[in-house]
Amino acid sequence: MIDLEIALSPSQLEVVLQDINLNNQLITVVGSSHSAFLVMRNLITLSSHLKIVYLFRNPDLKFAQQKEGWISYDNTGLKGEIAGWAKNKYPILTVNNDQQRISRIQINNSLSPDHDHHLKECCRVIYAIGYQSNPTPRVMIDGTEQKLNFDNSTGCFNGLPGLFGCGIAFPQRVVDPAGNVELAVGIFKFMKFLKLVIPSWIQP
């Protein structure tokens, strides 16, 4: 397995694969995110003979689009250079012919034994699926454990005054003018959320 952080860096990816003859080798990429497409582009650029088995859940590609005063799919859509690659290069690489470089396989929820044969055929696997959050700390009041029910609009925990959350574990829920609901993830979005909600947090 190759760590996602390494796979996102073309130079580091080249180093970890330098001892492998990539001619007609298979590497599995798992995930449907922006990171998954960055990884696939890096792999395709690294070798003209390497092939990719791409395991994904959502078959619909989303692209961030600048609107008048807002951005559609700002948090979940592909952006910048990788959006251009996904529109122009990716479809060609997935065509089922002798030149196919990327084999697309849709999965339901998570990897199961049914997918083992795909993984066994590959020399490496890269998981571009984000992270699994750690358990939240136990909160006790008068000897009773409290249930943490986070409000993504206010940053508060319902029924627990004085306890707040923000960041990757507790992002803001946003709705764009088209009605798309997303979680706002990114350092500047966390800062924007804090500026919005802190005044209400510090009210007496």
Same domain assignment for residues 96 and 162 = no
Q: Are 122 and 26 in contact (CB under 8 A)?
A: yes
Q: Does any domain span residue 134?
A: no
> Given the structure tokens 């947090």, which residue do they identify?
201
Same domain assignment for residues 100 and 196 = no
Q: Does any domain span residue 132?
A: no
Q: Does any domain span residue 63?
A: yes
Same domain assignment for residues 147 and 114 = no
Q: Which domain holds residue 91?
A: 4-127
Same domain assignment for residues 11 and 85 = yes
Share the mean pLDDT of the chain.
90
pTM to 2 decimal places: 0.81
C-alpha to C-alpha distance for 148 and 158, rounded to whole angstroms:
7
Which of 98, 127, 156 is where one domain is finished?
127
**Which amino acid, residue 74?**
D
Give the model's pLDDT for residue 37: 96
State pLDDT tens for residues 10-58.
999 999 999 998 888 999 999 888 999 999 999 999 988 899 999 998 8
Domain total in the chain: 2
State pLDDT tens for residues 179-198.
999 999 989 999 999 999 99
